[in-house]
């Protein structure tokens, strides 16, 4: 039976361009102040929203790869109409890096994320949809002259994006940007919240004391630990046929390490495709679901891959911490806006395809629904 297309009013969404939607959200997040960087010509003041919009313009246009290129592009009439309102000098753009607060963009990002909620994954986990948070960090290589971006040495510098991802909602929920050498556990302590369920890879589970620390904060967890831990088995727990079918081979209550002080923790052993995983958790649900929850962790890896490949956080337009944070916040906000477009229009195209179409039609008068439905794109 052929699928019936959803009835959508294209007129209602005809002006929903990616850049325009971003500027609307930015305006809503502002407190009414039109912060500006002065230029030699009073008519050429760089407003905060114009500065941030230029960053977004650069992310969407592969031919613009540098700060100088952004400023040169601002001289075009179309760019002024849709992006920045006026020509932007290199001096103004550079000065803006130390004046405009990128944390405003975090508010935009979090506001957008709230609108992307949609069910995803196994229905048996639906009651955990707003609690289950996959966490991870990814390095974003920086320039050697970014002295603040400490990582390996003077020649190898990086920023790091730490992310919480509501995997059962398919939406990023919070983020933190630090220097490359910042420990993931240290970063997580700064933005984890009471009542959340944290899902993380082996790095988060290396410090057994961190597990008890999370419990004291009333934060639940499913964390991978090392495959050959020093552990004292307190109680072995039974497995169901469903558990075994999911690859679970053992589970029990244990004390980890030599200095374990808290209550025993549950450990679930999973063997899939010849790979062994030991998962520590305090959740009281079936072992097969613990295995499934950890398998969903790879969704955050896909998110990072998409961000890096298609929003080009491979080169930064500025070198200061504020400039780098600005570009990262805008990039992940773009991801969320695209997800909203996909949800609102019930589009079956991939997020990558949608972003590519929006890049091409950014300055066209084509209604967004028409562009995304056309075979010409």
Q: Are residues 338 and 191 in the same domain?
A: no
Q: Are residues 225 and 330 in the same domain?
A: no
Q: Are residues 188 and 310 in the same domain?
A: no
Domain contains 144: yes
- From 278, 298, 318, give the residue that closes a domain: 298
Q: Are residues 144 and 287 in the same domain?
A: yes
What is the total count of domains within the chain?
Answer: 2
b/e map 218-253, b = 16+ CB within 10 Å: ebbbbbbbeeeeebeeeeeeebeeebeebbbebbbe
Q: Nearest CA to 219 among 205, 199, 240?
A: 199
Q: Are residues 236 and 360 in the same domain?
A: no
Domain contains 32: yes
Tens digit of pLDDT per residue, the chain (377 long)? 343 333 323 233 233 366 777 777 787 777 644 555 555 544 446 788 888 888 888 777 766 777 888 888 888 888 888 888 888 888 888 888 888 888 888 888 877 877 776 788 999 999 999 999 999 999 887 766 777 878 887 778 888 999 999 999 888 888 898 999 999 999 999 999 999 999 999 999 999 999 999 999 999 999 999 999 999 999 999 999 999 999 999 999 999 998 898 899 999 999 988 899 999 999 999 999 999 999 999 999 988 887 776 555 656 777 788 888 888 888 778 777 777 777 777 777 666 666 666 554 444 444 445 555 555 54
CATH number at 158 reads 3.90.350.10
Domain contains 219: yes
Q: Are residues 183 and 313 in the same domain?
A: no
Domain contains 110: no
Q: Are residues 211 and 293 in the same domain?
A: yes
- The angle, 0 to 180 degrees and rounded to 10, between the axes of the packed helices 351-360 and 321-345 is 110
- From 279, 298, 317, give the residue that closes a domain: 298
The beta strand positions in the chain, using DSSP E, are: 36-37, 46-47, 132-142, 157-166, 171-179, 197-200, 220-225, 231-237, 248-256, 265-272, 275-281
Q: Are residues 46 and 144 in the same domain?
A: no
Domain contains 256: yes
pLDDT of residue 215: 95
Q: Are residues 334 and 282 in the same domain?
A: no
Q: Are residues 225 and 248 in the same domain?
A: yes
Q: Are residues 308 and 292 in the same domain?
A: no
pLDDT of residue 371: 53
Domain contains 4: no
Domain contains 2: no
pLDDT of residue 230: 92
pLDDT of residue 120: 87
Q: Give the domain extent around 226.
A: 116-298
- The angle, 0 to 180 degrees and rounded to 10, between the axes of the packed helices 103-113 and 321-345 is 20
pLDDT of residue 255: 96
Global pTM reads 0.79
- From 273, 298, 323, give the residue that closes a domain: 298
Q: Are residues 167 and 91 in the same domain?
A: no
């Amino acid at each position: 039976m052929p699928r019936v297309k959803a009835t959508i009013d294209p007129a209602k969404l005809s002006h929903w361009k990616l850049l325009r939607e971003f500027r609307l959200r930015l305006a809503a997040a502002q407190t009414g102040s039109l912060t500006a960087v002065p230029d030699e010509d009073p008519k050429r003041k760089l407003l905060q929203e114009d500065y941030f919009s230029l960053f977004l313009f650069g992310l969407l246009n592969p031919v613009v790869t540098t700060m100088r290129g952004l400023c040169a592009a601002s001289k075009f009439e179309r760019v002024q109409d849709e992006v920045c309102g006026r020509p932007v000098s290199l001096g103004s753009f550079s000065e803006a890096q130390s004046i405009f607060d990128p944390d405003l963009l975090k508010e935009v990002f979090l506001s957008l994320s709230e609108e992307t909620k949609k069910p995803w994954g196994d229905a048996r986990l639906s009651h955990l949809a707003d609690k289950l948070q996959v966490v991870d960090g990814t390095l974003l290589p920086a320039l050697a002259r970014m002295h603040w971006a400490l990582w390996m040495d003077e020649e190898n510098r990086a920023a790091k994006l730490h992310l919480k991802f509501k995997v059962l909602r398919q939406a990023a929920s919070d983020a933190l940007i630090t220097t490359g050498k910042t420990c993931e556990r240290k970063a997580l302590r700064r933005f984890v919240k009471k009542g959340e369920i944290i899902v993380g890879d082996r790095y988060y589970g290396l410090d057994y004391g961190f597990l008890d620390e999370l419990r004291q904060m009333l934060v639940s967890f499913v964390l991978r630990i090392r495959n050959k831990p020093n552990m004292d088995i307190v109680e072995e727990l039974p497995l169901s046929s469903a558990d075994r079918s999911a690859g679970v081979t053992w589970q029990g209550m244990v004390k980890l390490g030599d200095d374990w002080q808290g209550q025993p923790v549950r450990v679930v052993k999973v063997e899939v495709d010849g790979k062994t995983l030991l998962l520590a958790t305090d959740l009281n649900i079936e072992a097969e679901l613990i295995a499934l929850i950890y398998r969903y962790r790879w969704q955050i890896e896909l998110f990072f891959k998409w961000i890096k490949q298609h929003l080009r956080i491979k080169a930064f337009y500025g070198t200061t911490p504020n400039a780098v944070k600005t570009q990262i916040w805008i990039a992940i906000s773009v991801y969320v806006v695209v997800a909203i477009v996909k949800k609102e229009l019930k589009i079956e195209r991939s997020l990558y395809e949608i972003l590519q179409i929006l890049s091409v039609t950014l300055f066209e008068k084509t209604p967004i629904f028409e562009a995304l439905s056309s075979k010409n794109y």
